[in-house]
Structure 1
Amino acid sequence: MAEDNIPNISEMSFEQALKALQQVVRQLEDGEVPLDQSITLYERGEKLRAHCQARLDAAQARIEAIVLDAGGKPAGTKSFDGAD
């Protein structure tokens, strides 16, 4: 596995990282990879998983939450982080 053609995870979009993670999982599930390379793939997979999770967490922080009035009815929205 040549390091030169492997994109930097921190520069990947969520979609790119997810696709790369799926490729890693397929390779590991196939069982055709030598042990040392499997360990390297697993470590990369974990970094990709963490990157995807961080991107999801950031997206969730931008989701708007519904604000309910005293009667429990929707009264508007506010940003998930509490800023109006």
Structure 2
Amino acid sequence: MADQDATRADEPGYEQAREELAAVVAKLEAGGLSLEDSLALWERGESLARTCERHLAGARERVETVLREAESHE
């Protein structure tokens, strides 16, 4: 896990990634972009979506761990 954290040290936090993803979607929906610009934005959006998914998966894992520990102490 520490290796994953080290390789993603420059990755934005969940809130920052979510906000940037929303901005990317808005730009794509507005249209008027060249094909190259649209593709670049799409790729950035995909990357941001994966970042959000990783953050959410990590949060889910932490919650599940706490719940398991709480159940084992009952």
Both structures adopt the same fold (TM-score exceeding 0.5): yes
Q: Give the number of the structure with larger relative contact order, counting CA–CA contacts within 8 Å between residues 6 or more apart.
A: 2
CA apart distance, 1:65? 6.9
TM-score (norm 2): 0.73
Contact 2:11–2:51 (Cα < 8 Å) also in 1: no
Q: Which residue in 2 is equivalent to 1:25?
A: 25
> Which entry has the higher C-alpha Rg, 1 or 2?
1
Is there any run of 5+ residues in structure 2 with no aligned partner, and where? 1-7
Identity of aligned residues (%): 37
TM-score (norm 1): 0.65
1:78 paired with 2:65, answer no
CA apart distance, 1:34? 1.1
1:52 paired with 2:42, answer no
The answer to which structure has the higher strand fraction is 1
The answer to which structure has the higher helix fraction is 2
3-state DSSP class of the match of 2:32? Answer: coil
Q: Which residue in 1 is equivalent to 2:3?
A: none
| Structure 1: distance between partners of 2:46 and 2:52 | 10
Q: Which residue in 1 is equivalent to 2:38?
A: 38
Q: Which residue in 1 is equivalent to 2:15?
A: 15
Counterpart residue type for residue 30 of structure 2 = D
